[in-house]
Amino acid sequence: MAQIRLDNLRHSYMRAPKSDADWALKRLDVVWDDGGAYALLGPSGCGKSTLLNIISGLVRPSEGRVLFGDTDVTDLPPDRRNIAQVFQFPVIYDTMTVHDNLAFPLRNRGVEARHVETRVGEIASMLELTDLLDRRAAGLTPDLKQKLSLGRGLVRDDVNVIMFDEPLTVIDPHLKWRLRSKLKELHYNVRVTMIYVTHDQTEALTFADRVVVMEEGEVVQIGTPVELFERPQHTFVGHFIGSPGMNVLPCEVRDGAAFVGGERITTEGPAKAPAGANRLEVGVRPEHVQIANEGVPAEVVNVADAGRYRVVDARIGDIRINALMSENDTIAAGPTRLSIDPAHTRLYADGWLVDTRQGTEP
């Protein structure tokens, strides 16, 4: 096991990339500590799969290095990197039993038969597959197949990192919860570095200690789930994380405050537009917008029931804003007022966060 370092990485699938758009992966410098749980989060086509393939060795980066510990593995093929991967669609060896599937990576490496048996037994009980060891793998349900392919990674002692490529795609929602917490539990017990690639914010945030958010080949923010939620560095992160995502409201800045549709909105510190900014926006999560007796006048358009809360769809002028409300509260369509929590209201210039907190100069 080792620390993983992506050093000045860049990748393009074209032979001679010219413009910015030709790079599938823009310059990237990341260090992942040994034993951590990480997630790569982003919409499809954001470059997260490219990055995953670079780490596993299926794709060689155009520029930069991949280091496992002190070893430069940039040019090593996947089988010499000591990695394991769980794919989007379960990959199992159909003709083998569950037992032989688990033993396969060890037998290929010439591990002594007795040790193979011990390891297979350990991993099977860890994954709750012990009763199924003699079954043919082909007949398993998708969630068991995914567990089995994970088992093939866990069974080896030499694994540097286990990578997950949207592993819950084919799993039913109610089993997703179980498998996800199982993964978390496994990580807690075995402490192997795990990298989890997904487009699903809930999966990323619940699994990982640190999340890398990507968009269009670029890392937009790296942070803990709380940081990503509380202080998105970019409106994309705000929008992408949270359900519904952060309200991003176009605004003007004057007199140290932001004005949305002519209404004054107080930000966390005195709002000040950076010089040369083209696009100014206020970002506030629906969680921090409340229906209130006083505050910004708005018009309620619709209320959607999400079970444990309700999503209020409202307008300030003609600018759309979402607010959350408890499942026991009701409100009719029509005029109302919104209280927007200044401590959680951020200012963004050209998409990027403007730090307006007192004492910290941008």
Partner 1 sequence: MSGKTDNQRAWFLVLPVVLLVAFNALVPLMTVVNYSVQETFGNNIFFWHGVGWFQDLLRSERFHAALGRQLLFTFTILLIEVPLGVAIALCMPKKGIWVSVCLVLMALPLLVPWNVVGAMWNIFALPDIGLLGWSLNTLGFEYNMTQQPLSAWITLVVMDVWHWTSLVALLAYAGLIAIPEAYYQAAKIDGAKAWAVFRYIQLPKLGRVLTIALLLRFMDSFMIYTEPFVLTGGGPGNATTLLSIDLVKIALGQFDLGPAAAMSIIYFLITLAICWVFYTLMTRNEAR
Partner 2 sequence: MSLEFQAVVKRSGADTLIYETSFALAATGFNMLLGETNAGKTTLIKMMAGLDRPTSGRILFKGEDVTKLPTQKRRISLVHQFFVNYGHMSVYDNIASPLRVARMRDADVKRRVGEAAELLRLEPFLRRRPGELSGGQQQRTALARAIVKDSELVLLDEPLANLDYKLREELREELPRLFAGRGAAVVYATSEPTEALMLGGHTATVSKGRVTQFGPTSDLYRSPDDLETARVFSDPPINVAPVVKRGHEIHLGNAAHWAAAGTIAGAPDGDYMVGVRPHFVTPVPHGDASAPLTGKVLITELSGSESTAHFEIADRAWVSHSHGIHPFRVGEEHDFHIDTTGCIYFHADGRRVMV
Q: In which region does residue 276 sit, left (phi positive, over 0), alpha (psi from -120 to 50) or beta (all else)?
A: left
Point out which residues pair with 339 in neighbouring strands.
290
**Interior angle at CA 111, CA 189 and CA 127, nearest 5:** 30
Write out the H or E segment, with its range, that includes residue 12: none
**What is the CB neighbour count within 10 angstroms for residue 25?**
26
Least Å distance, CB 256 to partner 1, is: 55
Site string for partner 2, 54-93 (x = CB under 8 A): ----------------------------------------
Site string for partner 1, 258-287 (x = CB under 8 A): ------------------------------
Write the DSSP string, 51-80.
HHHHHHTSS--SEEEEEETTEE-TT--GGG
Please work out the total of residues on this chain that contact partner 2, with binding judged by CB under 8 A: 39
**Interior angle at CA 239, CA 312 and CA 163, nearest 5:** 130
Least Å distance, CB 300 to partner 1, is: 47
Q: Which is nearer to partner 1, 144 or 280 (CB)?
A: 144
**Closest Cα to residue 245, out of 51, 73, 43?**
43
> Per rule CB under 8 A, is residue 36 in the interface with partner 2?
no
Alpha helical stretches, state H, the chain: 48-56, 98-108, 113-126, 142-154, 173-190, 201-207, 225-230, 235-240
Binding partner of residue 185 among partner 1, partner 2, none, CB cut-off 5 to 8 Å per kind: partner 2
Q: Which is nearer to partner 1, 41 or 52 (CB)?
A: 52
**83-86 and 289-292: which strand pairing?**
unpaired
Least Å distance, CB 172 to partner 2, is: 5
CA dist 143 and 127 (Å) reads 11
> Per rule CB under 8 A, is residue 1 in the interface with partner 1?
no
Binding partner of residue 243 among partner 1, partner 2, none, CB cut-off 5 to 8 Å per kind: partner 2
Site string for partner 2, 271-310 (x = CB under 8 A): --------------x-x----------------xxxxx--
CB 232 within 8 A of CB 282: no
CA dist 208 and 206 (Å) reads 6
Sign of CA dihedral 86, 89, 90, 91: negative
**Residue 300 in 3-state DSSP?**
strand
Q: Which is nearer to partner 1, 77 or 262 (CB)?
A: 77
> Per rule CB under 8 A, is residue 210 in the interface with partner 2?
no
Sites for partner 1 among residues 7-36 (CB under 8 A): none
Q: Which is nearer to partner 2, 18 or 188 (CB)?
A: 188
> Per rule CB under 8 A, is residue 113 in the interface with partner 1?
no
> Per rule CB under 8 A, is residue 77 in the interface with partner 1?
yes
> Per rule CB under 8 A, is residue 91 in the interface with partner 1?
yes
**Residue 79 in 3-state DSSP?**
helix
Distances 15 to 22, 25, 56 between C-alpha atoms, Å: 10, 14, 21
Which residues have a Cβ under 8 Å from the Cβ of 259 and sit 6 or more positions away? 251, 252, 253, 265
Write out the H or E segment, with its range, that includes residue 104: helix 98-108
Least Å distance, CB 79 to partner 1, is: 5
CB 266 within 8 A of CB 345: yes
The stretch among 6-14, 39-47, 86-94, 214-222 that binds partner 1 (CB under 8 A) is: 86-94
Among 49, 149, 247, 336, binds partner 1 (CB under 8 A): 149
> Per rule CB under 8 A, is residue 88 in the interface with partner 1?
yes
Q: Which is nearer to partner 1, 89 or 181 (CB)?
A: 89
User: Which residues in this chain contact partner 2 in the complex, by CB under 8 A?
Assistant: 43-45, 172-174, 177-178, 180-181, 184-185, 188, 199-202, 205-207, 225-226, 228-230, 239-245, 285, 287, 304-308
- Footprint on this chain of partner 1 (rule: CB under 8 A): 56, 58, 77-79, 83-85, 87-89, 91, 93-96, 104-105, 108-109, 136, 149, 152-153
